[in-house]
């Protein structure tokens, strides 16, 4: 359409019609220059059925899925017949990878970030990527697609007060473990933290040294999976049960 015809077309509108038309044109221009949308998508922590319809739709419509481990995420994608390409992003990813992701978003690509299990950014390197991109792209739209988290899952069945609680991430592997468990013991509210199968027995022993014998804990192993096991009692009670040192653990300590 020529400029003359275009102007005549607009001139033929009423003032209200012209306002609406120009608003639409402005909005279209914004859409053209807007960066892609960055979706933060929660995925199952074990049972593949624990995913929302919205999460599946988001993953299917994304241009690219960023994964902590592409092999782990591919199992989920195959299960739901999602054919979207993947790219790794993890705690060892460098600035070059961040800039690559930035370029994709600036080119208008819609990206979905997932972690190996649960909600990205919760004791997970995804929060650093979100922070980096927020400062690199002014108009970046970040959309949460909520779902499962091991912490809230464990808290929901602990039976301990959860109106206020402290989440402490993963217990330190070597340094500062004494300080970590002292903070757990001194906490004003229910405490939740992650632990690996390799250190769970050591962790329970260290907790037994700092917790009052009347303090109760809840140890959740392999949540939502086939061999899910919940242990309750004092630290000594649970140590006496000789828990299986396999899988992932969430430890909840009552106030």
Strand ordering across the sheet containing 190-196: 165-170, 190-196, 248-253, 217-221, 229-233
Domain ranges of the chain: 3-33, 37-145, 150-253
Provide the percentage of residues in the chain whose pLDDT is more than 90: 79
pLDDT at 27: 47
pLDDT single digits (tens) 96-128:
999 999 999 999 999 999 999 999 999 888 999
pLDDT single digits (tens) 39-85:
999 999 999 999 999 999 999 999 999 999 999 999 999 999 999 99
pLDDT averaged over every residue in the chain: 89
Provide the percentage of residues in the chain whose pLDDT is more than 70: 87
pTM reported for the whole predicted model? 0.83
How would residue 35 be classed by pLDDT, with cut points 50, 70 and 90? confident
pLDDT at 11: 52
pLDDT at 248: 93
pLDDT at 115: 96
Architecture of domain 37-145: 3-Layer(aba) Sandwich (3.40)
Whether 13 shows a pLDDT value over 60: the answer reads no
Across 132-151, average pLDDT: 94
How would residue 242 be classed by pLDDT, with cut points 50, 70 and 90? confident
pLDDT single digits (tens) 161-204:
999 999 999 999 988 999 999 999 999 999 999 999 999 999 99
Across 215-243, average pLDDT: 94
Whether 243 shows a pLDDT value over 60: the answer reads yes
Q: Is 107 exposed, middle or buried (0-12, 13-18, 19+ CB in 10 A)?
A: exposed
How would residue 91 be classed by pLDDT, with cut points 50, 70 and 90? confident
What's the topology of domain 150-253? Answer: 3.30.950
Q: What is the DSSP string of 169-187?
A: EEPPSSTTHHHHHHHHHH-
């Amino acid at each position: 359409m020529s400029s003359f015809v275009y102007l005549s077309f607009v001139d033929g509108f009423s003032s209200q019609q012209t306002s609406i038309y120009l608003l639409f044109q402005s909005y279209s221009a914004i859409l053209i220059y807007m960066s892609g949308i960055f979706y933060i998508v929660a995925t199952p922590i074990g049972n593949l059925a624990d995913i929302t319809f919205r999460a599946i739709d988001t993953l299917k419509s994304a241009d690219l899925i960023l994964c902590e481990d592409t092999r782990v995420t591919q199992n989920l994608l195959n299960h739901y017949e999602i054919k979207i390409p993947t790219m790794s992003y993890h705690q060892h990813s460098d600035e070059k990878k961040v800039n690559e992701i930035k370029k994709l978003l600036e080119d208008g690509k819609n990206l979905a970030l997932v972690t190996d299990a649960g909600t990205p950014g919760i004791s997970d390197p995804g929060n650093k990527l979100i922070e980096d991109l927020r400062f690199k792209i002014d108009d970046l739209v970040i959309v949460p697609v909520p779902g499962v988290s091991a912490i809230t899952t464990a808290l929901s069945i602990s039976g301990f007060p959860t109106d206020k609680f402290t989440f402490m991430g993963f217990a330190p592997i070597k340094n500062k473990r004494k300080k970590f468990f002292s903070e757990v013991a001194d906490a004003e509210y229910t405490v939740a933290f992650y632990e690996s199968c390799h250190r769970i027995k050591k962790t329970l022993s260290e907790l037994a040294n700092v917790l009052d014998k009347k303090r109760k804990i809840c140890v959740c192993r392999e949540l939502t999976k086939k061999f899910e096991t919940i242990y309750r009692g004092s630290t000594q009670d649970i140590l006496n049960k000789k828990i299986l040192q396999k899988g992932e653990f969430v430890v909840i300590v009552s106030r």
